[in-house]
């Protein structure tokens, strides 16, 4: 049977593991002590409800124990200011969206898909005036990638002074995994613009630079996605692309610069790399910059001064005092306790089970 425990400030886990042992398999008893200790530490700030239930991930797995963390009991906030609630619009209701982009979104997300707050408001802000820069604040998992890809493509489609044999947009990402994901989504959108825009390519460290050169020989992309270290190495080199010229010259007419997760770029020590990359791009007055960051540290001000024009638009989808905007409040978190002798097998079966979901994303 399910075991439900309601934990409050006045009840500090008096229901001990001894009371639970008759109902829990032997190999679950030791891990349960660890989790109750964690719970005891966490409830000192907010009361919560906890629920344990036996589940079966796959038919071949033994019954496991999954932990579900309920929503914390939030304290009402009294304010005299009326906060307008965001109502997600359908993508077809958005202004400034090219019909081909809309068709691509319907193929990617379905006919009834709606835009997240950061997606809808970034597209609106970036379209207010030609070339206006945008500072976007949003948590991970809120659709930031589409939020900057959509206005980037719109800018490129409207750019009459951008030679198609030059790179139109540069997207700098802190990790190769994120860069690969961005490039994949970019090409899903660009597929519907194949008459006017070329496919995106991605560059990151850890692989031979020759692969990058061969990719550029085959195709000068409309959008280039790269990690900062690899892109800096290329821009600082004297490499020539066969029949295309200097690699640096490919960035001479770039119309859009995107810095994704800029706070992470700074945390990972890429500040000088980013500044070096910017020095090879057209002046900020001659391009559009979309800068995204969940936080605004002091070190970010130097990057903003060198990349963004005065009068940039700010799209802030994070309320620092509102826990509902935290990333962990947007993601369902569970865990499975497996016997020590079946750890590897259990992980493999759970991963295979998760891979059945559409658009799954797994990190082990």
Tens digit of each residue's pLDDT (9 = 90 or more) over 54-84:
333 343 443 443 434 444 434 333 333 344 6
Residue 361: predicted pLDDT: 79
Query: What is the rounded distance in angstroms from the CA atom of residue 159 to the CA atom of residue 146?
Result: 20
Residue 360 inside a domain? The answer is no
Q: CA quadruple 276, 277, 282, 286: dihedral positive or negative? A: negative
39 and 100 together in one domain:
no
Stated pTM of the model: 0.69
10 and 145 together in one domain:
no
275 and 296 together in one domain:
yes
Domain membership of residue 341 as a residue range: 3-77+331-354
Residues of the chain with pLDDT below 70 are 1-84, 319-331
58 and 188 together in one domain:
no
145 and 206 together in one domain:
yes
Residue 35: predicted pLDDT: 38
Tokens of 291: 């800068």
How many domains is the chain built from? 2
233 and 97 together in one domain:
yes
> Which residues, including other chains, have CB under 8 Å from residue 332's CB and lie 6 or more apart?
none
Between CA 127 and CA 132, with CA 131 as vertex, the angle to 5 degrees is 65
Residue 64 inside a domain? The answer is yes
Residue 142: predicted pLDDT: 85
62 secondary structure, DSSP code: P
52 and 123 together in one domain:
no
Check which CATH number belongs to the domain holding 281 and give it.
3.40.50.300
Q: Phi and psi dihedrals of 131, rounded to 5?
A: 80, 10
């Amino acid at each position: 049977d399910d075991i439900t425990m309601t934990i409050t400030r006045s009840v500090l886990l008096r229901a001990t593991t001894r009371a639970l042992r008759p109902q829990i398999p032997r190999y679950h008893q030791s891990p349960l002590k660890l989790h109750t200790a964690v719970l005891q530490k966490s409830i000192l700030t907010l009361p919560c409800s906890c629920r344990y239930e036996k589940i079966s991930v796959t038919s071949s797995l033994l019954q496991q124990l999954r932990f579900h963390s309920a929503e914390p009991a939030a304290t009402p906030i009294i304010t005299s200011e009326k906060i307008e609630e965001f109502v997600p619009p359908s993508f077809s209701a958005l202004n400034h969206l090219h019909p081909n982009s809309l068709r691509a979104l319907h193929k990617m997300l379905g006919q009834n898909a709606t835009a997240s707050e950061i997606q809808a408001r970034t597209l609106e802000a970036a379209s207010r005036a030609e070339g206006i820069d945008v500072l976007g604040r949003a948590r991970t998992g809120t659709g930031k990638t589409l939020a900057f890809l959509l206005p980037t493509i719109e800018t490129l489609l409207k750019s009459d002074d951008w030679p198609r044999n030059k790179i139109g947009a540069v997207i700098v990402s802190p990790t190769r995994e994120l860069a690969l994901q961005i490039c994949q989504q970019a090409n899903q959108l660009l597929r519907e613009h194949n008459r006017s825009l070329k496919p995106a390519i991605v560059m990151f460290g850890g692989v031979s630079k020759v692969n990058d050169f061969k990719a550029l020989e085959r195709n000068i992309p409309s959008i280039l996605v790269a990690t900062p270290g690899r892109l800096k190495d290329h821009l600082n080199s004297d490499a020539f692309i066969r029949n295309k010229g200097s690699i640096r010259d490919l960035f001479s007419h770039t119309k859009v610069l995107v810095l994704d997760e800029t706070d992470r770029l700074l945390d990972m020590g890429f500040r000088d790399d980013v500044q070096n990359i910017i020095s090879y791009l057209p002046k900020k007055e001659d391009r559009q910059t979309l800068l995204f960051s969940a936080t605004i540290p002091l070190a970010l001000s130097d990057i903003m001064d060198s990349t963004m024009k005065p009068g940039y638009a700010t799209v802030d989808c994070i309320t620092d005092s509102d826990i509902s905007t935290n990333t962990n409040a947007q993601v369902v978190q569970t865990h499975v306790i497996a016997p020590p002798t079946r750890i590897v097998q259990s992980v493999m079966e759970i991963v295979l089970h998760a891979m059945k979901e559409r658009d799954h994303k797994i990190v082990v």
